[in-house]
Structure formats: structure tokens, C-alpha cells
Structure 1
Amino acid sequence: MKGSGEKPAQSSSINIGTILRLTLRLFQFVMGIVVIGLYAQDLKAARDQGKYVDSKWVWATFVGALSSFLAVVFSLPLIKSWWFFWIDALVWFFWLVVFGIFGKMYIKEDPEGNKGIIRMKRAVWIDLVNLFLWLISACYGAFIFWKARKARSQYTGRAQEHVV
């Protein structure tokens, strides 16, 4: 009824933007876990042998864990992750550092049958995938953030109307 004062029921359908965002966050989560698995086994081996634990591997494992955690948090329905696009950009920078460190160490390295070096060469490319995943989420979040700032509401003309 038009004059009854009731609000129309809102549909709870999931739009394509939500599906893409959740898919991206799922990939970020999985790839963070993969990095933890690739780098943490060297940390465990060093600890078991009583050897020095290299901070580069600790850093890569930390960034993988942080990425996985944030991917889960930013997937929650009550969190508007685009408000925190700067955190996505910071994590992107962390992946850039990880890729820079291990890329310099292993991209040109000749493995000569050494399975550890082969694994680390593959880990470098996983780092690069993470780098691009977090770049995509940072850019998307920044775009939605700026789009929301420009949107208008029916009450003040300044607040957000509808954001993906």
C-alpha cells in the first residue's frame, strides 16, 4: 500500500560484486595458507636441527598468516572491507617485500636437482600471485570507497546511497 508507511521488503539476493569479492577473498585465504606451508617447513626443519631460524622465512610465514586471517575477516558479511582498502594496500606492500626478497634469491637460481630450491622457486611465483590478489582487492576497495563518498542519500544528499 502506498500510504501505509510500511517499507518494501528488501531482497536478500547476492549480487555479482559480492560473489566476486568473496571469491577473491577465498583465493587470498587459500594462497596465504599455501605460503605458510611452503615456508614454515623450512622453519620447522631449522628449529628441529637446532639451527638458526632465518628472519626472511619468518617474515614470509607471518605475511601468509596475516593474509589468511584478514581474508577471513574481510569476508564476514558485517564487515565493509572497502572501508579498509588501505589495509589491503599495506598487505599488498608486504607481499611486494616478500616477492622482492625471495625473487632475488631464487628466480635466477639453478636448482641442479635440489628439491628445496625447486620448491622455493615455486614459492616465489605463489608470492607473486598473492601480490596480484591483494593489489586487486586494494584497488577494488579504493574504487568502492571513493564511489561511496560521492554517492548521495535522500536525507542529506551527502551520505552513501547504495554501494556494491
Structure 2
Amino acid sequence: MFVAAKLLKVGYNQAKKRKANKEAQFQQPHPNYTYPNPYPMSEYPPGVAPGTNTQYINPEPPAPPISKGAKFISMIISILRFLQFVFGLTVIGLYGRDVHHDHEDDDTYHSKWVFALIVGFLATSTAAFHMILPFLKKRVNNSGNPKLHLPQFVWEAVLCIIWLTVFGIFGKMYIGVYPTDSSSSSSSKRDSTSSSSSSSSSSDSDSTTSVLGDASKINRMRHAVWIDLVNLLMWVFTASWVLLRWLKSRRAAMTASLDAEKGSQI
């Protein structure tokens, strides 16, 4: 009995020592041991540190990818803006030449030519602004405000109206009109039998020349009329495109508001 009691006491002491050693190893790990970090810092969002409550953080959704059709239309519009800029400068050069000659001759500026210069300047400035606008959007990281589509359409519609006015004014003056030399020679061939008719045609051609200018000016203005028409067509196209963008953004806003109302009712 004494020996059995002694063995039980020794076994109890050994078990107690093992338990104490295991607890000590758990509380004081090896100095070279490092616990693995299940969440490395590289995977944290920017501006968020460990221990931050990210429950209410709502990151911006990624922008949807641009389709090939949208890229193609954007490229066409960019080319049109460049052509609007170039043709606007061409109009300024064609009509500004006559205004410059009037200034050298101390003549009164013709209001029609000055009006054409103003229209060309407004169109050129607008086209230049639209050419610079994509670079500004990239710099400020902004894709554009749909609320600006309607004012943009209104302005481009005004440009279409004044381009139509310029084309109407100078088209009425110069379409079908040819330089004095050719008109006088053809009239002399047709009316060689009657001297009275030739004298009247020459006087009419002289009056036309005095009003519309010399042969070089008439040729230049006849070309300018068709350039005015090209400008009108380009601005009508871009104004229609802006109108379609505004209608699309308005439809998307209405759809989003309806979806929000349905969600609130549910």
C-alpha cells in the first residue's frame, strides 16, 4: 500500500509539471517565431489602416468599358471639330481680306462682311474649345456633366442659324454671278447684231461689278459661299449629335428615378 501511494504521488507530480510546461510554452513563444499576417498591408484600400471600420466605406464603382461604336463616333466627332476649326479660319481669311482692303482704302466696312467675320470667329472659338475639352476632362478626371448637353445644343443651334443666315446673304449675292470679263464677252457674242442691247448689257455688268467687286473678288466670294454651306452642314450634324446625347442622358435619368421609386416602395 505504501509503495502504491508513492507511485501515485510521483505520477501526479509529473502530470502537473507537464501541464505547467505546456502553459508556459503557449504564453511565451520562441523569440524567433513570428505570427503570419492573414491581411497584408498591400491588400488594404488606400487611406485605410488596420483596425479601421470599413463598414460604411462605399468605393466608386468602376467605369463601364467604352464600346467600339462609341469610340468610332467619338473619333468622327473629333474629326468634325477639327474641320470646323479649319473651315472657320478659312471663312475668316476669305471675308477678312475684303474688310482689310476697305480699311486700307478708308472705305466704310460692309456690315455683311463684318457679320461673316463674327460668325467665323464664334464658330472657330467653339470648335477650338471642343478640341481642348477632352484633355481637360482627363486632367480633372471627369467624364462630363449631362446637364451641360442642353446649353451646348442651344448654342450650336444658334451657330447653325447664323451660318444659314450667312449662306443666304452671300448665296443670294454671288450664286449664278460670274466675273465681268466672261459675262461681257458672252453678252457680246449673243448680242452682236444689236448695238443697243450690247451697250445695255455692258452697263448692267458695270453696275454689277461696282456692287459685287472685281473679277477676283467675285471668284473668291463664290467659293466662300460654298464654304459657308459646308460649315452649316457640319454644325447641323454636331448639333444633332449633342441633342441625341441630351435625350439619352435625360432618358437614363428618368429610368434611374423610376427604379429608385420602385425600390423605395418595395
How does the TM-score come out when normalised to structure 2?
0.53
Shift in Å at residue 98 of structure 1?
Answer: 0.2
CA contact (8 A) 1:152 1:158 kept: no
Structure 1 residues 154 and 52: CA distance shift in structure 2, 3 A: closer
Shift in Å at residue 5 of structure 1?
Answer: 6.5
Identity, % of aligned pairs?
36
Which amino acid in structure 2 is aligned with residue 90 of structure 1? V
2:31 is aligned with 1:31: no
Q: Who wins on radius of gyration, i.e. which is larger?
A: 2
Range 65-74 or range 149-158, more displaced: 149-158
Q: CA-atom RMSD, angstroms?
A: 2.8
Structure 1 residues 137 and 155: CA distance shift in structure 2, 3 A: closer
2:199 is aligned with 1:111: no
Structure 1 residues 121 and 157: CA distance shift in structure 2, 3 A: same
- Structure 2 residue aligned with 1:145: 246
Using CA pairs under 8 Å that are at least 6 residues apart, name the structure with larger relative contact order, 1 or 2. Answer: 1
Q: Which runs of 5+ in 2 are unaligned?
A: 1-42, 44-56, 138-143, 182-214, 261-266
Distance in structure 2 (CA, Å) of the matches to 1:98 and 1:106: 12
Q: Which runs of 5+ in 1 are unaligned?
A: 160-164
- Structure 2 residue aligned with 1:87: 155
Kindly tell me the number of residue pairs found equivalent between the two proteins. Answer: 157
CA contact (8 A) 1:46 1:52 kept: yes
Which amino acid in structure 1 is aligned with residue 243 of structure 2? A
Distance in structure 1 (CA, Å) of the matches to 2:259 and 2:172: 48
* Deviation sequence 1:112-145 (CA, Å, 0-9, x none): 3511100100000000000101111111111111
Distance in structure 2 (CA, Å) of the matches to 1:82 and 1:8: 24
- Structure 2 residue aligned with 1:17: 73
Structure 1 residues 40 and 152: CA distance shift in structure 2, 3 A: same
- Structure 2 residue aligned with 1:136: 237
Which amino acid in structure 1 is aligned with residue 159 of structure 2? V
2:223 is aligned with 1:122: yes
Shift in Å at residue 67 of structure 1?
Answer: 0.1
Range 73-82 or range 5-14, more displaced: 5-14
- Structure 2 residue aligned with 1:162: none
Shift in Å at residue 52 of structure 1?
Answer: 1.3
How does the TM-score come out when normalised to structure 1?
0.83
More helix by share: 2
Distance in structure 1 (CA, Å) of the matches to 2:227 and 2:80: 15
* Partner secondary structure for residue 151 of structure 1: helix
